[in-house]
Structure 1
């Protein structure tokens, strides 16, 4: 049996889960998330816990068991606490500022680069070299952070660019000079 899939999901206070027409809706203090899961997975609520079970032991069912449980856990965590990713901007003259809901980057290009906040995502800029991306959907937060990182990925010689907080950039040796 799946080690992840067999674990129950604890529901914090204020989080409600409902199912209708094969769609699971999770509501909490931060908002509401909906998702459809495979019909082979059975999601049941027992008290303050959600339990995911599978109908059979086929390879596909075993693979979906842990996935379904992990996605449900992310939905519950998102509506109760939310998710965030922190990006750091490294480089002389590289900066970011918040203009309404839009991020305006100065990344060494001949023009400023603007990024509009997608639905359900909020940006925070505590200082000109840091961006915090927040939202209730873990997949959307991660994808938004990845899209911003692609504007100027960190390069291996000086480490300049946009990187995740705590990300290790493997450095290369530059020219030796003679």
Structure 2
């Protein structure tokens, strides 16, 4: 296989970025995510793939609910907060206006385009990310927007390299 061909295809797709937040046992976590997609129309399902290197992944194994915040082209600073720091070492929510919904999930006020999800299943196929299959509990839209895309954030340094897998989730 030509490794460059796969990279070229994925770069051309230029996925929109989202911030996934969750909470479990009184602890909050969140991360920047580029792998996500609607996975069913009726009923409404959504999948997010979380890096095994990420603290949010370890929290997601204990959490039942998540929020996916769709970032706009003006949300690069928010992407930087959730994409370049580790939740295990830093409270990413400390300087942000955050509400908590009835499921306990942190909701970012500055990112009103979002869905709240309930985990149905987790699929670990051996790669560096795990798929969380979810059911949509609620959705909120502030109206049409231009998404922040992977290419818009290419200067951000990830908080963990993809190869830094958790020894114990």
What is the TM-score normalised by the length of structure 1? 0.22
- Higher relative contact order by CA 8 Å / sep ≥ 6: 1 or 2? 2
Higher Cα Rg, which structure: 1
Task: Return the TM-score normalized by structure 2.
Answer: 0.23
